[in-house]
Structure 1
Amino acid sequence: MVTSDGRSTAGRATLLILSFVPIDGDPRVIKQVRRFVDEYDVTTCSPGPSPHPGVTHIEITGDHTPPRGLLTRALDEVAHRTEWFRRMYFQTPGVIETMHRLAGRRFDAVIANDAETVGVACRLFGAARVHADLHEFFPDMGFEDSPMGKRHQRYWTWMTRELVSPVASSTTVGGEIAKKYHEFGLEPGVVTNSTHLRDLPFREAGPTIRLVHSGNPFHERSLAEIMRAVAASPADVSFDLYLTWHPEKDRAEFVALAEELGPRITVHDPVAQSVLIETLNEYDLGIHILQPVSTNNVMALPNKFFDYVQARLGIIVGPSVEMARLVREHDLGVVTEGFAESEIASAIDALTIERVNGFKQSAMRAADALSAERQVEVWADAVRRIVDSSTHAR
């Protein structure tokens, strides 16, 4: 365990895992916790409950309100008017509370998740002890083409260049995003959003080829286009969607469309992460067609891709760089020619049971190589280097 000042009571090196979203609901950060909890004295700091019984948890509650006098409010106004981004960042309520909760503690290494946590970690513990895990490309997150959208982009670009670039090391979710970070002086390693290795059976397809998609009901995921393509296909196919309730309005639109299109399309309630892979294993093909509406979408390599691999499914993706590369490299399935409904339909119409079973066999072979167990050691090496450097410094 770790004392209030961050020292280990067991003589082990101390590690802080910092996140501004609840760790117990973030599959990527949970993997960090599980990888390190038996090797280091781990402290987690995030909103929400403790993500693991073996860690010391510091909860960010959102109820820490520091006094803000006339001078503070005047400086805040100047900061917003002049884009004094450093002050804007360090006066953010979440940043202020986190610094308050972590004040006086010491750690040999810190994993700061996402760009907005890095400034806190570097100010409190020094950039030499911080590893930044960047879950997406923050300078281009699909900002609106408006004055406010452009201001947000300048803010996140500043944050990446000024607060993130000094860290000891970094990782991100894919090779193409890693290359984009080079212009900011970062050389990130790659830890994909892979899923833990499962021991699941091969299930032959047929006679109906069963497609599936799980996740949020976002229009940019081409769900309506896929639904219409399946409903009209000459192939014997069906499409099941396990959609979350957020945003609820969009989900309702897809439910209504499914009812309109007929029995080939079914929208289910979401299932818990703990049983998701086993649920998907009942299907034949996972499908994820992500419209290229932002840099992050173009280069995306999301959790669900690896969920489909561990579920031993074939995969249909659009021509998104990272997903298409892995599908082709491992012969996992089909890459559509483009993102239009007609191009999605062409891929679905050409499916046969023999092709689909071949893709599922490829998923069986690739499951180990594409598992989380192969990926998390990149984090382990980075943390080990920081800890060794911290020990030598002492």
Structure 2
Amino acid sequence: MGRFPENNSVRRLRLAIVSYSFIARDARVRRQIEYLRPHHDLTAIGYGDPDPAWTDVTWHRLELRETALEKLTRNAFLTIRPALPALYDLYYALRPLYRQTYALLMQSGANAVHANDLSALPVCAEAARKLGAKLVFDAHEYAPLEQETPKFKRLETPARVHLLKRYAKRADAAITVCEPIAERYMTEFGFRPIVIMNAPALQIPPDHTPAPDRIRLIHHGVFDPSRGFEQMVEAVALADSRYELHFMFVGNADAIARFRAQAEARVPGRVFFHDPVPTPQVVETIAQYDAGIHYLTPSSYNALIALPNKFFDAIMAGHAVFIGASPAMKELAEQYGFGRAAASFDPRDLAALLNSVTYDDLIAMRAAARQARHKLNADIEMAKLVRLYAVMSDE
């Protein structure tokens, strides 16, 4: 994995990174740690155990998870919050998870705090204010529309809009995953995040020559039925017999087994399931396949304009990439020539796309991906974050 040489002329910050995720499995937060720890003294606060290599990172493992009673209480406060915003702020401040996080931040003596996602922003903002520390807000995606179910939009969206209006402008800088989200935050909330895409570090896995009559598509990541896996299976069922589909999922084993039975019944002998591998081994593992398939059902605004980790993993693996009508992925795929987008999110259009691709097309797209990875990688994207903190260290 690529790294920037340590710059001894930059003042080392006491930098606390907060993420309410299992950090060692969270690719975006992992990269923050990997690229910032050569330059600053890091404290990480989140779930799970650290990567064994992070011996120079002070690690605080959070144990508190939301109980059923807390969820009921939270929903009650979310219901009345539009009329009495101060009550939701009070509830948020008194939650055991945030009180624990606040105490750990104060204990760290940080002079810079990095809040991952809106869920961590309020407590990080309050701690940064108390510590006199710099604050960076990584919004990741567009928080008010993480989901677009009626219940979410009724309860969660107003609360998230309130938190963004209250805390986002306190940040000294903000970052996000793609340009459309950055523009929307500027238009609706008055702050302009820096775009840092979810690209992995530059890797050059072994190349291979695909077989013309057996093109192996692969999709990997978290198993979430809302993401369009059934549509991928349907598209391959409708496509030429030269295509086979491979899945490598992380998630609920029972749910994956049920989906596997359905998929194998629909496309017997042409769909396969594989055990997941640790995050650092993903690119090398998927590089053994021929092409990536990244159809993502547009179930929300974030899903529609997504530029997910797995999309960049496929580029790094040297894959041809086939996608639905996702505008942000389509723009990069066409700009660099490594992929093609279906005309719509209908599986029949994805099948038509697959059938239109010649063997020469496939080889050309794979070659384009091998060129694109030299520009679409974490060494380039994370340089923006390294520079941001270097500037802050001089202020």
- Does TM, normalized by the shorter one, top 0.5? yes
Q: Structure 1 residues 387, 251: closer, same or farther in 2, change over 3 A?
A: farther
2:374 alignment partner, one of 368, 372, 379: 368
Aligned equivalent of 1:144: 149
Is residue 163 of structure 2 the alignment partner of residue 159 of structure 1? Answer: yes
Q: Write the mapping of 1:291-330 to structure 2, written as runs, cut at 5 A.
A: 291-330=297-336
Residues in 2 aligned to 1:247 and 1:135: alpha-carbon distance in whole angstroms: 27
Residues in 2 aligned to 1:174 and 1:181: alpha-carbon distance in whole angstroms: 11
Structure 1 or 2, whichever has the larger Rg, is 1
How far off is 1:257 after superposition? 2.2
Residues in 1 aligned to 2:285 and 2:292: alpha-carbon distance in whole angstroms: 12
Q: Write the mapping of 1:243-258 to structure 2, written as runs, cut at 5 A.
A: 243-246=249-252, 248-249=254-255, 251-258=257-264
Cα deviation 1:175-200 (Å, max 9, x = unaligned)? 11111111212110011110111122
Aligned equivalent of 2:89: 86
Aligned equivalent of 1:6: none
SS at match of 1:192: coil
Runs of 4+ with >4 A deviation: 76-80
Residues in 2 aligned to 1:78 and 1:218: alpha-carbon distance in whole angstroms: 28
SS at match of 2:322: strand
Cα RMSD after superposing both structures: 2.5
SS at match of 2:334: helix
Residues in 2 aligned to 1:283 and 1:337: alpha-carbon distance in whole angstroms: 25
Aligned equivalent of 1:35: 35
Q: Structure 1 residues 100, 223: closer, same or farther in 2, change over 3 A?
A: same
Residues in 2 aligned to 1:314 and 1:38: alpha-carbon distance in whole angstroms: 34
Aligned equivalent of 2:4: none
CA contact (8 A) 2:78 2:156 kept: no
TM-score by length of 1: 0.88
SS at match of 2:150: coil
How far off is 1:80 after superposition? 6.0
AA aligned opposite 2:101? T
AA aligned opposite 1:33? I
CA contact (8 A) 1:218 1:250 kept: no
2:59 alignment partner, one of 48, 57, 60: 57
Which runs of no fewer than 5 residues in structure 2 stay unpaired?
A: 1-10, 68-72
Q: Write the mapping of 1:136-285 to structure 2, written as runs, cut at 5 A.
A: 136-146=141-151, 149-182=153-186, 183-207=188-212, 208-246=214-252, 248-249=254-255, 251-285=257-291
How far off is 1:79 after superposition? 8.2
Q: Matched residue pairs, number?
A: 371
SS at match of 1:103: helix
Residues in 2 aligned to 1:247 and 1:327: alpha-carbon distance in whole angstroms: 32
SS at match of 1:194: coil
Is residue 343 of structure 2 the alignment partner of residue 337 of structure 1? Answer: yes
Deviates more, 1:330-339 or 1:43-52: 43-52
Cα deviation 1:64-102 (Å, max 9, x = unaligned)? 99xxxxxxxx9x977863453211221222111111223
Residues in 2 aligned to 1:78 and 1:221: alpha-carbon distance in whole angstroms: 30
How far off is 1:165 after superposition? 2.4
1:115 alignment partner, one of 111, 115, 118: 118
Residues in 2 aligned to 1:64 and 1:219: alpha-carbon distance in whole angstroms: 23
AA aligned opposite 1:313? H
AA aligned opposite 2:199? S
How far off is 1:253 after superposition? 2.2
Residues in 2 aligned to 1:271 and 1:252: alpha-carbon distance in whole angstroms: 21
Residues in 2 aligned to 1:344 and 1:63: alpha-carbon distance in whole angstroms: 40
How far off is 1:278 after superposition? 1.4
AA aligned opposite 1:187? R
Residues in 1 aligned to 2:65 and 2:238: alpha-carbon distance in whole angstroms: 53
Residues in 1 aligned to 2:107 and 2:276: alpha-carbon distance in whole angstroms: 42
How far off is 1:271 after superposition? 2.4
Residues in 1 aligned to 2:261 and 2:251: alpha-carbon distance in whole angstroms: 11
CA contact (8 A) 2:312 2:376 kept: yes
Q: Structure 1 residues 79, 343: closer, same or farther in 2, change over 3 A?
A: closer
Q: Structure 1 residues 251, 373: closer, same or farther in 2, change over 3 A?
A: farther
AA aligned opposite 2:356? A
Identical amino acids, percent of aligned pairs: 25
Residues in 1 aligned to 2:66 and 2:280: alpha-carbon distance in whole angstroms: 33
Residues in 1 aligned to 2:227 and 2:119: alpha-carbon distance in whole angstroms: 26
AA aligned opposite 1:56? T
TM-score by length of 2: 0.87
CA contact (8 A) 2:16 2:108 kept: no
How far off is 1:273 after superposition? 1.9
How far off is 1:217 after superposition? 2.7
Aligned equivalent of 1:98: 101
SS at match of 2:170: coil
Residues in 2 aligned to 1:234 and 1:78: alpha-carbon distance in whole angstroms: 53
CA contact (8 A) 1:255 1:267 kept: no
